[in-house]
Amino acid sequence: MRPARARRPLIGVLAMQGAFAEHVRALEKSGARTRLVRAPEDLEGLDGIVLPGGESTTMTMLMERTGLLKPLRRAISHGLATLATCAGMIVLARDVVDGMADQHGLGLLDIGVRRNGYGRQVDSFEAALDITGLGGKSFPGVFIRAPLVESTGSVEVIARHNGDAVAVRQGRIVALCFHPELTGDLRLHREFVKLAAS
């Protein structure tokens, strides 16, 4: 008798703006089916969602304009597995220290962040990170105009750089200051595919 094949979860990638195509490729290489998410109906039947890097104010403004912000907040608060990278972390945060006055994010992740806290594009860097539960060698963290986590509440910090939290987990949410989709290392995407399938 053949062993049952593992279920291939359907993972949406928010495709309002930003680096979503790289996440699609990494997820598909990691065994997931994918769907671009641009409207509320795109959330139906998803096992997980990725909130990619990009420009957080533009992303939230476009989500409000398309009517996606509230349904997405509801889906994540009801347990939709979520991977947020860079600007995606800002969109999820309960507090954005230097956010625009009219910027309304999801407010679901118990952290406070500062946008571009590591500097501008010219200050981009790569750092070897030890990530809890990943095992093996360090992970190549690519930081591009990355948010700085200034406070944490009821989250588990799963990686630090120079003492600052750069990766956190809260229930079925994983949020990263860096860009795993820009490396050849699929370990974080594979772990997220497993989380979405569970």
Active site residues: 86, 179, 181
What is the C-alpha end-to-end distance of the chain, expressed in Å?
A: 24
Decide: 24 and 14 in contact? Cβ < 8 Å.
no
- Of 180, 158, 181, 179, residue with least CA distance to 168: 158
DSSP for 127-173 reads: EEE--TTT-SSPEEEEESS--EEEEESS-EEEEEETTEEEEEEETTE
Judge contact between 98 and 114, C-beta under 8 A. yes
CA-to-CA distance for 194 and 125, rounded, in angstroms? 29
Q: Which of 27, 66, 32 is nearest to 198 (CA)?
A: 32
